[in-house]
Amino acid sequence: MKKYFSLVLFAHTIFAMPFAFIGFFLAITTTPHTFSWQKLLMMVLCMIFARNSAMAFNRYLDRGFDAKNPRTTNRDIPAGRLSAKSALTFTVVNCVLFIATTFFINPLCFYLSPIALAVVLGYSYTKRFTPLCHLILGLGLSLAPIGAYLVVTGEFALLPVMFSLAVLCWVSGFDIIYALQDDEFDRNANLKSIPAWLGRKKALQVSTFLHTLCVLFVTIPLMLAPFGWFYVAGIVFFIGLLIYQHSIVKPNDLSRVNLAFGTTNGIASVVFAIFFLLDVYWRNQF
């Protein structure tokens, strides 16, 4: 089990999971639907199974490149701690569990489950033919808030889409920062990425632009729902951490990329979700 957790970097679930909780409680507080522990559990399981399949498949598909990249040679498959067959089996099992879980939620989630899997699994191929691969990764994680909203309501709405667009821009932006570490390797291996295509300086500018759009999309909900000061405080904190991660990564200094990518964004998503939940709790209590 420890090897599989290492394979899928279970801690990275923290990026999208808080936004899934936002989508879930957004549905409860803005529609007539009521809270259900069963639906909450189903939503969490879907998030885990989708993340497991996506990450394991990525490791399986990229095992050849990981073995050649000095930064990734210690990953589980190239290091020999886990076989490629085991990773693929783990992927299939989690895909089946994901679809099976959606069957018990509602028909719309079940019908859309293959499409969701196609997006999160398909990302692993995109670096082979387009530098826009970061946007596909962002699209995969952006399914969290709208998917959680669908778990509760079984219907689409504009408000959760704003949070999905925010996640798309946020994740795409910080994945570009993460990819700075491999720009030279990607060019030599004929892999596509924004840093390998545009260079580090311009790649950081694209990341900044995407994060600016992210700020726009988390602000728009203020005009669509009666959010209060807790939500505004969450936006301010989120913006502060976006600015911070761009301040510590420079084209000629990548020493703090992991701090910007992992720690900063993990804190940003969790704290933003906490402020969101405080806001909806406060409004419903008072």
pLDDT bin (cut points 50, 70, 90) of residue 76 is confident
Please tell me the predicted confidence (pLDDT) of residue 285: 65
How distant, in Å, are the alpha carbons of 25, 35, 54, 175 from that of 32?
12, 10, 33, 37
Instruction: Check: CB of residue 71 under 8 Å from CB of residue 186.
Output: no
How far apart are alpha carbons 176 and 136 in whole angstroms? 12
First to last CA, the chain: 45
Give the other-Cβ count within 10 Å of 255's Cβ: 9
CATH of 2-285, one of 1.10.357.140, 3.30.70.260, 3.90.1150.10, 1.25.40.10: 1.10.357.140
Is residue 14 pLDDT above 80, yes or no? no
Cα separation, 259 vs 115, in Å, equals 33
Nearest-angstrom CA–CA distance, 277 and 173: 25
Look up the pTM and report it. 0.94
Q: What is the pLDDT of residues 15-37, one digit of tens each?
A: 889 999 999 999 999 999 999 99
pLDDT band (50, 70, 90) for residue 8: low
What pairs with residue 253 in β-bridges? 250
Q: Which amino acid is at 128?
A: R
Rounded to the nearest integer, the mean pLDDT of the chain is 92
Nearest residue to 174 via CA among 190, 157, 192, 195: 195
pLDDT digits (tens, 9 = 90+) for 82-123: 899 999 999 999 999 999 999 999 999 999 999 999 999 999
Based on C-alpha coordinates, what's the Rg of the chain? 19
Ordered by start, the domain boundaries in the chain are 2-285
Contact, 131 vs 192, CB < 8 A?
yes
Instruction: Give the three-state DSSP class for 36.
Output: coil
For tokens 């895909």, name the residue: 95
Q: pLDDT band at residue 261, thresholds of 50, 70 and 90?
A: confident
Q: Is the pLDDT of residue 212 over 60?
A: yes
Q: Determine the pLDDT at residue 10.
A: 56
Question: In terms of C-beta density within 10 A (0-12 exposed, 13-18 middle, 19 or more buried), how is residue 30 classed?
Answer: middle
Q: What is the DSSP letter of 81?
A: S
Report d(CA 58, CA 56) in Å as an integer.
5
